[in-house]
Amino acid sequence: MKKINVTFICAETESYPGCADLLYSYPEVNVVALPTSLSGPAVWKALARTDVLVVDESVVLRDGLEAVRLVHTCYSGLNILLVCKKTIKNRMMGYLSIGIRGLLERDSLVSLLRRAIPALYAGEVWMPRGLVQSLRNQSTIDSGSSSWEAFPAMMSDRGKVN
């Protein structure tokens, strides 16, 4: 079985103590790089070899949504998993619209990271169960149509929720 190449970008190396050890302990994962930013030639070189990019929300807030959009544009086959402090519906819709295919809350990182990475690698979507239902309910427009249809490829039958 091919190992999944993962790059984990976190603003501070100690934001998730032991996370690197956790990634290194997964036999199905090959850790490509552990940078602290989305910019720089070393990061872009690592991303060229990456299957799943795990990025902390603090990096997105610091570097900007445009940096994530650029990564997604340059590496369209890259599956991005965002680790966020708390899921906030409006913010999550923005993340989904720029190509992020997975959302994982920090509190669930240790217990769900090992399941989320292979799911994303397989082309599935990964997000908290409550967020999916909440977004569907929120997106319904009075006329009966749904803006959820803007994401048909994202919410195929091959999605995973946690």
Residue 11 is classified by DSSP as S
Report the mean per-residue pLDDT for the chain: 80
Contact 63, 36 (CB under 8 A): no
Q: How many residues does the chain have?
A: 162
Contacts of 94 (CB under 8 A, 6+ apart): 65
pTM assigned to the model: 0.79
Give the model confidence (pLDDT) of 60-101 as tens digits: 888 888 999 999 899 989 999 998 887 676 777 788 888 899
Per-residue model confidence (pLDDT) at position 53: 95
Instruction: Identify the structural domains of the chain with CATH numbers, from first to last.
Output: 4-161 (3.40.50.2300)
pLDDT digits (tens, 9 = 90+) for 19-53: 777 888 899 999 999 998 898 899 999 999 999 99
Neighbours of 129 (CB within 10 A): 10
For the CA atoms of 117, 119, 124, 125, the dihedral, rounded to the nearest 10 degrees, stands at -60
Mean pLDDT of 111-137: 82
Mean pLDDT of 141-156: 47
Tell me the CB-side half-sphere exposure of residue 97, using CA atoms within 13 A: 13
- Whether 72 contacts 52, CB under 8 Å: no
Estimate to the nearest angstrom the gap between the alpha carbon of 43 and the chain centroid: 17
